[in-house]
Amino acid sequence: MISVFGSVNMDLVAYVPTAPKLGETVTGRSFRTIPGGKGANQAIAASRAGADVAFLGAVGDDSFGVVLRATLVESGVDVSVLRQAQGSSGIAHIVVEDSSGNSIIVVPGANGTVTGPSEDDLELIAGSSAVLLQLELPMEAVVSAAKAAKAAGAPVILTPAPAQPLSDELLDAVTLIVPNEHEAAAITGVEDPAKALDALLERVPEAVITLGSEGALYGSRDGVRLPVPAVRVQAVDTTAAGDTFVGALAVARAEGLSPEDALRFASVAASISVQREGASTSMPTRAEIDAALS
């Protein structure tokens, strides 16, 4: 069982030729509401990639909350401990350019009420083969979940997004950190990804820096360094590509794949997702990943 302790949002997605500059109005070509949030995205990605997954977090008591819960269930994710908070669910306003780039504004809503794992959450965390964390919940909650996972002997995979300072208290509990190149630079103060990787490994045992169309770079404290080439595809929408990568990577690691094979598995999953619009709607099934790998 993989547990994901994190955020769930309704994504309000506008597709435009070019994103507006400050003070500018542009005409979009389409609009969609799509369930998302980094936590829910990773949970759905891992479930579709073949794992048993539990999601730990909160939705609001609004209509979005109903849809968000149902989407997780339809994707095979265990929501038995998913909380319902008074007020609105989390939302993300996303602008996607025709170039496939995006910009995002997140309003936490119910996610902001999660100040720590509940007793039920702790029970699931203790029985997990991995615990996935991100930074869209209050930091105190993320730290508490990480420490609980470490105490139970469960590997912790952290996506440090949105980027912010990371305490030693948190990183001491992290097994693998997976920033993109911008987050890695913000965390370490080092622009060059290879040097940023070395800096990250001074604080955590393993790290993967995702590099978009340039692939990814993996390293561990035992001296392993693996450049992972990207799968060449025509990207349509890169929203949640990183979450797809992390969810699939967690599955591959839980199944005992080597770092090289696990990273290849995750890269293929992400390459499929960017060829489709949306976040949770873009994530591939295990059959699709296996077919692309064969």
Active site residues: 243
Residue 274 DSSP symbol: T
Strands (E), 146-251: 156-158, 176-177, 206-210, 216-220, 225-228
CA-based nearest residue to 285, from 47, 8, 4, 68: 47
Among 120, 140, 112, smallest CA distance to 79 is for 120
CA distance 12 to 9: 9
Return the DSSP state at 135: S
Distance from C-alpha of 290 to C-alpha of 77, rounded to nearest angstrom: 21
Sheet containing 156-158: order of strands: 77-78, 53-56, 2-5, 130-133, 156-158, 176-177, 206-210, 216-220, 225-228
